[in-house]
Amino acid sequence: MRGIVQGVGFRPFVFNLAEQLSLTGWVKNTSGGVEIELNGAAAALDAFVAKLRAEAPPLARIDEVQVEATSPNGYAKFEIHASQPQPGAFLPVPADMAICPDCRRELFDPTDRRFRYPFINCTNCGPRFTIIRDLPYDRPNTTMSGFALCADCQAEYDNPRDRRFHAQPVACPRCGPHLWFEAGGQRLAEKEDALQMARAWLKDGKILAIKGLGGFHLACDASNPAAVEELRRRKKRSDKPFALMAFDLETIQRHCEVTESEADLLTSNQAPIVLLERRPTSTAAPGIAPGQHTLGLMLPYTPLHLLLLEPEPGFPDILVMTSANLSEEPIAYEDEDARARLAPLADGFLLHNRPIHMRVDDSVARASMDGRPYLLRRARGFAPGALTLPNAVRPTLATGAELKNTFCLAREQYAFLSHHIGDLENYETLRSFEEGIEHYQRLFRVRPERIACDLHPDYLASRYARQRAEEENLPLVEVQHHHAHLAACLADNDWTAPEPVIGLSFDGTGYGTDGTIWGGEVLVGGYQGYQRRFHLAYTPLPGGDQAVRRPARMALAHLRLAGVEWDPEIPAVGALCAEERTVLASQLQLRLNAPLTASMGRLFDAAAALIGVCERATYEGQPAIELEALADPQEMGSYPFQIEGEIINPAPVWQALLDEWHSGAAVPTLAARFHNSVVRLVIEVCEIVRRESGCRSAALSGGVWQNRFLLERAVPALRAAGFNVLLHRRTPPNDGCIALGQVMVAAHSIETN
Ligand code: ZN
Ligand code: ZN
Ligand code: FE
């Protein structure tokens, strides 16, 4: 059998099933899967195979079962044999799973021997990927290897009828990891006292670094505005929202609206951060998510987090739980590194001695219209779950994009898309990228025979790819960013049909084949190739990144191109002083440090700045996010873009927006109409392509599709117009999907196939 069949209670399940049906023989893990030999009556054997799939344990995923006949070998009973590695074979590794209901019950049961033990787990839950050093997944290959099992734990571990049979991280207060509390370099408390000290400090408004499952969090009382502001100051993070954690669903419901599918997502085994509509009555400090009406909340996914958040009168019911790092650096996960890097950020440390082998951030998701999760960051709980590909590929490494980087290793019909690595802008993140690639290569036994990367000449990920391709003499496939978006969305939807698809690849930035910055792209094609059928008109990006941080500069560049006067009454014009405008004007005229862009993300930035929504962007996409938050959901009006040849010209939209602004239209109305205009554009271009080439499917990929207002209007409108809409399902629409797309494009490129 192949699939996710190790570390998920599969062998005890097989053992019990065999006993139940009076079959003899054995089961063993191999690094290629699970092997079972059975002797018994034909009817019992058939029943076994049927039940194998029907009754498999909750975390298991069976991809393949091969059945062969054998002669009776005279086994007296059914046994579980020791693991046998097979060189070269591979096996999907289970992701870390949130604490299960049984462990949770035992955690709060005073008669249980693991009562209030922060590291309780079983075959159905607990750490996996973050503690695995190598395969096969057995205790000596995990970071639990240093903890010798006590007699009681050993008995559970050896008993196939026990929930903890072969649960590799099994532990108890007597033999397992434990907590302690540190501040100012002093160890102040141990175990339960450490936990209570941490809680007292949090209640007091202090900021703590807490070692969790895949790394450290910075935590503080989310209802305490001073604590939240102090955390922002120390983290040097101005407006980007903080994630929150609450003890249970009922608490979350006090702070946010929670639909049924959102509740399912919150309480799932993956337990991601879920973006929820904030209730006006929520006590969350305004500084948690400035300019937004959503909050990102998750439930405690480890026993430690449950104990930390245990309700008590006077204790905060929601805590900030944000990745412990300085802005842009990767999450801290090693004790020494955390002590050094987090000392200026945290008042105290809640630590434990179970090492984290692989750092993994929390995943972020939203419930999509059809109730399925729509991932915005694919990490804990999802990675490194293997994605099945629509076709088998040769061993490939794809190095992904620059921002929100993930890499991807693929072999046969499996893609191991990495957890979220982060923005490859500094040494720390690059190191975690390189270490991640090595770890995945070893775990999944992938020896790349070709390498795929982004076309961008300067991306660190592309440089790494080029260097490796040269050193190892491997073919290199450079993939255009927006083509990778299209291919990723197709692969995510198991697309195998030969007909071309309309790729609505809308994002902030991506290197184009003409050396400009693309991002408002309507492509027609598939894995093999694409035609750039439409794109937004090129607009100068005055000052490059400067125009991203000051969206008013982008707005003024657009106005100049549209032939609109810079009237200081217009909010975006007024946002820049006369001197800034003079410099900007000559910059635009002389094309000094003003690369051309067709970016849809920057179009949203310009729209937001134009009507005075966001003057300074302190994180990627902020103007668009604030514009979306303001958009009036009742408003249906829209403006037309002008389409000439392959160029989409926004000039008429700017003109209409300004006319209405001058006649006193409210900002929420204008914000909604701008969104609706983009929806209208989408329908128009798709209909043209359908007339031209009969395309009936549209793939929505790129960071712009994280915009819920846009997505929830564009999708029904496309469907109503008769289009088959392909949305990301297992990968995020943002650049977290790029590596998967690169794998697919490389697999279909003629040169290397
Ligand atoms: Zn459990
Ligand atoms: Zn024990
Ligand atoms: Fe992108």
Residue 191 sits in the same domain as residue 252? yes
Counting ligands in written order, which one lies closest to the CA of residue 302? Answer: 1
What is the domain count for the chain? 5
pLDDT at position 752 is: 45
Distance 455 CA to ligand 3 centre (A): 12
Residue 126 sits in the same domain as residue 243? no
Tokens standing for residue 617: 């962007």
Distance 746 CA to ligand 3 centre (A): 18
C-beta atoms surrounding 337 within 10 Å: 13
d(C-alpha 423, C-alpha 525), whole Å: 29
Residue 457 falls within a domain, yes or no? yes
Confidence of residue 71 (pLDDT cuts 50, 70, 90): confident
Residue 548 falls within a domain, yes or no? yes
- Residues near 233 by beta carbon (within 8 Å), at least 6 away in sequence: none
Backbone angles phi, psi at 80, to 5 degrees: -100, 120
Q: Which residues surround ligand 3, an ion (CB under 5 A)?
A: 507, 735
Residue 373 falls within a domain, yes or no? no
Counting ligands in written order, which one lies closest to the CA of residue 507? Answer: 3
Residue 221 sits in the same domain as residue 128? no
- Count Cα atoms within 13 angstroms, Cβ side, for 17: 24
Confidence of residue 369 (pLDDT cuts 50, 70, 90): confident
Residue 696 sits in the same domain as residue 748? no
Distance 197 CA to ligand 2 centre (A): 25
Residue 76 sits in the same domain as residue 220? no
Residue 573 sits in the same domain as residue 699? yes
pLDDT at position 565 is: 93
Residue percentage of the chain with pLDDT more than 90: 83
Cβ atoms of 218 and 201 closer than 8 Å? no
Query: Would you say residue 401 has pLDDT above 70?
Result: yes
- Residues near 157 by beta carbon (within 8 Å), at least 6 away in sequence: 149, 164, 165, 166, 167, 170
Q: Residue 393 belongs to a domain with what CATH number?
A: 3.30.420.360
Q: Which residues surround ligand 2, an ion (CB under 5 A)?
A: 150, 153, 172, 174-175
Asked which of 1-5, 366-370, 712-716 is least confident by mean pLDDT, the reply is: 1-5
Q: Residue 8 belongs to a domain with what CATH number?
A: 3.30.70.100
d(C-alpha 454, C-alpha 472), whole Å: 19
- Count Cα atoms within 13 angstroms, Cβ side, for 244: 32
d(C-alpha 436, C-alpha 313), whole Å: 43
CA angle centred on 630, ends 626 and 635, rounded to 5°: 140
Distance 517 CA to ligand 3 centre (A): 11
Residue 684 sits in the same domain as residue 550? yes
Cβ atoms of 260 and 234 closer than 8 Å? no
Distance 735 CA to ligand 3 centre (A): 5
Residue range 628-643: mean pLDDT, rounded: 97
Distance 551 CA to ligand 3 centre (A): 19
Distance 112 CA to ligand 1 centre (A): 14
Distance 195 CA to ligand 2 centre (A): 20
Residue range 143-168: mean pLDDT, rounded: 94
Q: What is the pLDDT of residues 77-127, one digit of tens each?
A: 999 887 766 666 677 788 999 999 999 999 999 999 999 999 999 988 999
d(C-alpha 422, C-alpha 435), whole Å: 14
Distance 509 CA to ligand 3 centre (A): 6
Residue 35 falls within a domain, yes or no? yes
Distance 47 CA to ligand 1 centre (A): 28
The residue range of the domain holding 145 is 101-152
Tokens standing for residue 14: 């097989």
C-alpha Rg value of the chain to the nearest Å: 27
Q: How far is CA 236 from the centre of its chain?
A: 23
Residues in the chain, total: 753
Q: Residue 282 belongs to a domain with what CATH number?
A: 3.90.870.40
Residue 691 falls within a domain, yes or no? yes
pLDDT at position 538 is: 98
Residue range 453-461: mean pLDDT, rounded: 95
Predicted model pTM: 0.93
Query: Would you say residue 31 has pLDDT above 70?
Result: no
Distance 159 CA to ligand 2 centre (A): 14
Question: Last residue of a domain, which of 304, 337, 352?
Answer: 352
Distance 107 CA to ligand 1 centre (A): 10
Counting ligands in written order, which one lies closest to the CA of residue 99? Answer: 1
Residue 369 falls within a domain, yes or no? no
pLDDT at position 337 is: 87
> Which of 81, 14, 28, 735 lies closest to 420 in space, CA to CA?
735
Q: Residue 601 belongs to a domain with what CATH number?
A: 3.30.420.40
Counting ligands in written order, which one lies closest to the CA of residue 57? Answer: 1
d(C-alpha 14, C-alpha 449), whole Å: 37
Distance 398 CA to ligand 1 centre (A): 35
pLDDT at position 29 is: 81
Counting ligands in written order, which one lies closest to the CA of residue 98? Answer: 1
Query: Would you say residue 327 has pLDDT above 80?
Result: no
Residue 32 falls within a domain, yes or no? yes
What is the DSSP code string of 319-331? EEEEESSSTTSPP
Residue percentage of the chain with pLDDT more than 70: 98
Q: Helix 667-693 crosses helix 708-720 at what angle (to 10 degrees)?
A: 40
Cβ atoms of 209 and 345 closer than 8 Å? yes
Query: Would you say residue 385 has pLDDT above 60?
Result: yes
Tokens standing for residue 722: 């008769």
Backbone angles phi, psi at 655, to 5 degrees: -60, -45
What is the DSSP code string of 96-107? PBPPPHHHHHHH
Q: What is the pLDDT of residues 538-573, one digit of tens each?
A: 999 999 888 999 999 999 999 999 999 999 999 999
Distance 747 CA to ligand 3 centre (A): 20
Distance 583 CA to ligand 3 centre (A): 30
Query: Would you say residue 226 has pLDDT above 90?
Result: yes
What is the DSSP code string of 227-269? HHHHHHHHHT--SPPPEEEESSHHHHHHHEE--HHHHHHHTST
d(C-alpha 55, C-alpha 2), whole Å: 16
Cβ atoms of 505 and 701 closer than 8 Å? yes
Residue 35 sits in the same domain as residue 70? yes
Counting ligands in written order, which one lies closest to the CA of residue 456? Answer: 3
- Residues near 753 by beta carbon (within 8 Å), at least 6 away in sequence: 394, 747
SS3 595: coil
Residue 585 sits in the same domain as residue 710? yes
C-beta atoms surrounding 57 within 10 Å: 16
Distance 248 CA to ligand 2 centre (A): 28
> Which of 657, 500, 705, 513 lies closest to 598 in space, CA to CA?
513
Cβ atoms of 48 and 23 closer than 8 Å? yes
Distance 115 CA to ligand 1 centre (A): 13
CA angle centred on 206, ends 203 and 212, rounded to 5°: 90
Query: Would you say residue 753 has pLDDT above 70?
Result: no
Which residues of 161-226 form beta strands (DSSP E)?
179-183, 186-190, 208-211, 216-221
Counting ligands in written order, which one lies closest to the CA of residue 483? Answer: 3
Residue range 358-387: mean pLDDT, rounded: 93
Question: Last residue of a domain, which of 329, 352, 375?
Answer: 352
Instruction: Tell me how far CA of residue 51 lies from CA of 17, 60, 67, 493, in angstroms.
Output: 8, 13, 14, 29
Residue 139 sits in the same domain as residue 60? no
Instruction: Tell me how far CA of residue 195 lies from CA of 114, 210, 303, in angstroms.
Output: 16, 10, 12
C-beta atoms surrounding 368 within 10 Å: 19
Distance 295 CA to ligand 3 centre (A): 24
Counting ligands in written order, which one lies closest to the CA of residue 156? Answer: 2
Distance 172 CA to ligand 1 centre (A): 13
Mean pLDDT (the chain, rounded): 94
For 71, counting Cβ atoms within 10 Å of its Cβ (0-12 exposed, 13-18 middle, 19+ buried), the class is exposed
Tokens standing for residue 343: 């000392």
Residue 435 sits in the same domain as residue 559? no
Distance 485 CA to ligand 3 centre (A): 7
> Which of 604, 600, 601, 576 lies closest to 588 in space, CA to CA?
576
Distance 488 CA to ligand 3 centre (A): 11
Positive/negative CA dihedral, 326, 329, 335, 340: negative
Residue range 164-175: mean pLDDT, rounded: 94
Residue 487 sits in the same domain as residue 437? yes
Counting ligands in written order, which one lies closest to the CA of residue 155? Answer: 2
Counting ligands in written order, which one lies closest to the CA of residue 127? Answer: 1
> Which of 403, 235, 443 lies closest to 320 in space, CA to CA?
235
Distance 457 CA to ligand 1 centre (A): 47
Distance 422 CA to ligand 3 centre (A): 14
Distance 508 CA to ligand 3 centre (A): 6
Residue 88 falls within a domain, yes or no? no
What is the DSSP code string of 456-512? -SS-HHHHHHHHHHHHTT--EEEE-HHHHHHHHHHHHTT---SS-EEEEEEEEEEE-
Distance 176 CA to ligand 2 centre (A): 6
